[in-house]
Amino acid sequence: MPILDFKEIAQANLTNGLQDTFEMFARDFFMMLGFEIKDGPDRGQDGGRDLIINEKREGIIGDTEISWLVSCKHKAHSGSAVQSNDEIDIKGRVESFGAQGFIGFYSTIISSSLNRSLEGLKRHFDVKVFDREIIEKMILENPKGRTIAKRYFPISFSKWEEDHPKPANIFSEYEPLHCQNCDKDLLPQGDGIIVFKKDLKTEVYVAFLWCCKGKCDQDLKSKYRLMGYTDAGWEDISDILIPGKYLAWNMAVLNRIQQGDDKYSDEAFKSLKQFILRVSQMVLRSQNDEQIRRLMDLASLP
Ligand SMILES: [Zn+2]
């Protein structure tokens, strides 16, 4: 199921001033990957324009620079595959610009006939194809890709972002929530559970843990049972990542402390606070620059 809707990028060959958007998108995309963008040749009769991009390759005896000719074809609005007759004389175009490789940058898929002719060209130079699926994957996997996605796919990307929230910038750096048995970060997917361990003799919580469900939970259970401690309640982390549940759970913890129902060892209370802070990165919204400046002012007040 595609995530980014390429139809959000204005159709090429319209004379409304937006005809360059797909090529601008290609420039931003290749800059994100670390290519240097050279000015492209003029617009051709089909409304398409090729880009020249340079790639630095580090070698043992020195760096080399490879020039690629990028052909952008934006056919998402018609939905049709890029055909052989959409790409005229690739070899001649690559050679006339002195490039060493060809990249097809397509907002749909490539037809099998064009694929065959590109395979044939690999005898002469490097050939790569970035189709809709590959472009989408690379954008969503790259930390810089979010900025590009926000600019060119504002509607479909914001829908995706709702389901894949980015940790809020509460701390100077992201603080993971590692499973206390296998070290996996539990925050991005919200998988795993929290468990209270109690000393039944003193009625005190001696530990507050987070771990994966299943084996990790079982391993920790055996470890704590040997020390004489029992499970005294657990919750799914995914539930606590729901903002309303996060608040309700925090209130319940505070209330039980106030009423004297729950007593924590220093160690367990420290863990509880650590959990609340780390989880807050996925529940709270990000702070803007002005708020961060103000926060620094407040912290520096005597
Ligand atoms: Zn684990």
Segment 157-182, tens digit of pLDDT: 999 888 787 889 999 899 999 999 99
Mark residue 47 as left, alpha or beta (left: phi above 0; alpha: psi -120 to 50; beta: remaining).
left
Centroid of ligand 1 to alpha carbon of 222 (angstroms): 14
Say what the pLDDT of residue 126 is: 95
Q: How far is the CA of 173 from the centre of ligand 1 (A)?
A: 23
What's the CA-to-centroid distance between 170 and ligand 1, angstroms? 25
Query: What pLDDT shows up at residue 165?
Result: 79
Q: How close is the Cα of 186 to the center of ligand 1, in Å?
A: 8
Query: Nearest CA to 177 among 165, 188, 169, 185?
Result: 185
- Span 112-152, pLDDT tens digits: 999 999 999 999 999 999 999 999 999 988 878 989 999 99
State the CATH architecture for 6-163: 3-Layer(aba) Sandwich (3.40)
Residue 59's pLDDT band (cuts 50, 70, 90): confident
Q: Which residues contact 252 (CB under 8 A, 6 or more apart)?
A: none
183-226 per-position pLDDT tens digit: 999 998 888 999 999 999 999 999 999 999 999 999 999 999 99
- Ligand 1 centroid from CA 184, angstroms: 6
What is the tally of helices (H) and strands (E) in the chain?
A: 11, 8
Q: Is 68 left (phi over 0), alpha (psi -120 to 50) or beta?
A: beta
Average pLDDT over residues 58-82: 92
135 CA to centre of ligand 1 in angstroms: 33
Q: DSSP assignment, residue 7?
A: G
**Which residues fall inside 5 Å of ion ligand 1, going by CB?**
179, 181-182, 184, 212, 216
The Å distance, Cα 236 to ligand 1 centre, comes to 14
Query: pTM of the entire structure?
Result: 0.66
- CA–centroid distance, 198 to ligand 1, in Å, is 21
Cα 88 from Cα 93, distance rounded (Å):
9
Q: Are 71 and 102 in contact (CB under 8 A)?
A: yes
Distance 192 CA to ligand 1 centre (A): 8
Q: How deeply is 204 buried, as exposed, middle or buried, from its count of CB atoms within 10 A (0-12, 13-18, 19+)?
A: middle
How far, in Å, is the centroid of ligand 1 from the Cα of 237?
A: 13
Extents of the domains making up the chain: 6-163, 168-302
CA of 182 to the centre of ligand 1 (A): 4
